[in-house]
Amino acid sequence: MTPKQLRQNSSDLPWVVQKYGGTSVGKFLETIATNIVPSYLETNRVVIVCSARSGETKEKGTTNQLLRAAEEALTPGSNKHLDIVKELLSDHLSAAKALVKNQIILEKLEAQIQKDCMKLRSFLQAAEIIEEISPRSRDIIAGIGELLSCSIVTAVLQDKGIDSQLVCLNNIIDREFEVLDQEFYDYLSQRLGDIVRQCGNKVPVLTGFFGNVPGSLLTAIGRGYTDLCAALAAVGLGAQELQIWKEVDGVFTADPRKVPDARLLANITPEEAAELTYYGSEVIHPFTMEQVIRAEIPIRIKNVENPAGSGTIIYPEDQKIIQELDTTNLDLLHTKLPTAVTIKDNICVLNVHSNRKNVSHGFLAKIFATLDEYGVVVDLISTSEVHVSMALGSDMVQANLDKAIANLEMLGSVDVLHDMAILSLVGKHMKNTIGTAGKMFTALASAGVNIEIISQGASEINISCVVDKENALSAMKAIHKGLLSVEALQEIL
């Protein structure tokens, strides 16, 4: 097939940025290249941003393996980092052979994969010799995953007759920045827009890793940097929409794997999406969302296994873009129902009861100073003058918690409850609705669920409580039935 026969972007169509996660790239690339991208080329100019490939679980995904290899390179006497490189090379070469039929494209792809893995091996061996991996070096190691993934995606698209171009963003930042502020993100969005436009009518495939940032990419932004890259590209291009492709139809009123009658939400607000993400539902990173919403660009969550589905749209109710969207399938926007219920597992509760010698404003100050010193993050809190209960997330380091507890015991008695879960009811309109909290706790009482902590966020769009992990599923089902089910919806109509 000659370049003239390859399908390209049309210069007169609006942009759409599509971000594909690691599992989508690892398991559904054939669908993406054969069905999804070609269908959108009919109506849009398409930009693709990809995460590193994942297998059945994120734990076994490329990025986790790369970070493990970095740790093993610093472990005396270990050669596991070299074994990991071999595994990654074998995995990506196997994927290439399974997906690419054109022999010329395949040979070029295989050579690129081998070259990138050889660089990775040399980088890890150098780290082993100097016995050090800086935050910047760790970023580079992690970024190899996106490079390998995007190389395969680019080749598969070309194999399917789409004129794609790999765009490696490692050296995109050509100015010095000391902090990650809005000036930096505005600069980066402009740079991404310029680089995409330089591809002409080719379909750009961007590595989600975008090079050297102040404080390191993994430290300052975290593992959600691929989403952020897609968001900033959408802003820089003034895209019609940012699409986040997952393996679910969109955002539901509850996890459909746990609550069979959970409803697909046609739309949610950014505030609701942020709360749901923080309290256990993987929607989209709140800061990523903020960048796109500032530019009045809607975000659509779509399913690679159901490309024809409308998905869920995230946008603010008070922005003009609401008028520009197809609202025929939107949920009842101004109903008084909550939006969704979610669970955050593997929580522990830390209770601190004052010994009464410290009953003053300094009691709380000393608690939070201690937690800050040992890097213990509080998800939820309930306080009185002499007692503080805090829900702590699963990502804390146990050794740090033990040190914090030892210090806190100087303030009073301390006890810890393990195997707990945070149950959160989220909805922007709840603050204008009388009786929501009453219905929530009545539903929990009817299900025989005991509550350890109750907390309502300052934004008043979520009501959260901590329950025993064993009761979390029955609690979520009870709340969904009482406040979010079709029957509950019918009661208010």
Q: How far is CA 132 from CA 68, 69, 75, 136, 400, in A?
A: 14, 13, 10, 11, 23
> CA angle at residue 248 from 225 to 258, to 5 degrees?
115
How far is it, in rounded angstroms, from Cα 31 to Cα 33?
A: 6
**Token pair of 128 as six digits:** 């082993």
How far is it, in rounded angstroms, from Cα 74 to Cα 79?
A: 10
What is the b/e burial string over 49-84, where b = at least 16 CB atoms within 10 angstroms of the residue's CB? bbbbbbeeebeebbbbbbbebbebbeeeeeeebbeb
Average pLDDT, the chain: 87
How far is it, in rounded angstroms, from Cα 211 to Cα 172?
A: 7
End-to-end CA distance of the chain: 58
Q: SS3 of 214, please?
A: coil
Please enumerate in sequence order all residues whose Cβ is within 8 A of that of 220, keeping only pairs 6 or more positions apart, or say none: 180, 213, 214
The DSSP secondary structure of 402-450, one letter per residue, reads: HHHHHHHTTTEEEEEEEEEEEEEEE-GGGGG-TTHHHHHHHHHHHTT--
What is residue 326's predicted lDDT score, i.e. its pLDDT?
44
Q: How far is CA 358 from CA 111, 369, 386, in A?
A: 67, 15, 8
Burial tier of 198 (Cβ tally within 10 Å: 0-12, 13-18, 19+): exposed
Q: Half-sphere exposure (CA, 13 Å, Cβ side) for 25? A: 34
- pLDDT tens-digit profile of 70-88? 999 998 888 999 999 999 9
Query: CA 343 from chain center: how many Å?
Result: 16
The DSSP secondary structure of 170-190, one letter per residue, reads: TT---S--SS--HHHHHHHHH
What is residue 135's predicted lDDT score, i.e. its pLDDT?
85
What is residue 457's predicted lDDT score, i.e. its pLDDT?
66
**Token pair of 58 as six digits:** 């994120």
- Structure-derived torsion over alpha carbons of residues 358, 360, 362, 368, reported in degrees to the nearest 10: 90
Q: How far is CA 248 from CA 17, 48, 167, in A?
A: 19, 19, 28
User: Residue 7 carries which DSSP code?
Assistant: B
- pLDDT tens-digit profile of 318-368? 554 444 444 444 444 445 578 999 999 889 999 998 876 555 567 888 899
Query: CA 304 from chain center: how many Å?
Result: 16
**Token pair of 408 as six digits:** 């806190």
- Entry field: residues in the chain: 493
- Structure-derived torsion over alpha carbons of residues 277, 168, 154, 227, reported in degrees to the nearest 10: 10
The DSSP secondary structure of 366-406, one letter per residue, reads: HHHHHHHHTTPPEEEEEE-SSEEEEEE-TTS-HHHHHHHHH
Nearest to 61 by CA among 22, 95, 111, 21: 22
What is residue 357's predicted lDDT score, i.e. its pLDDT?
58
- pLDDT tens-digit profile of 386-407? 889 999 987 777 888 899 999 9
Q: SS3 of 229, please?
A: helix
What is residue 328's predicted lDDT score, i.e. its pLDDT?
40
Could you tell me whether strands 412-426 and 462-468 are parallel, antiparallel, or unpaired per DSSP bridges? antiparallel
Residues of the chain below pLDDT 70: 1-4, 55-59, 280-281, 317-336, 356-361, 457-459, 489-493
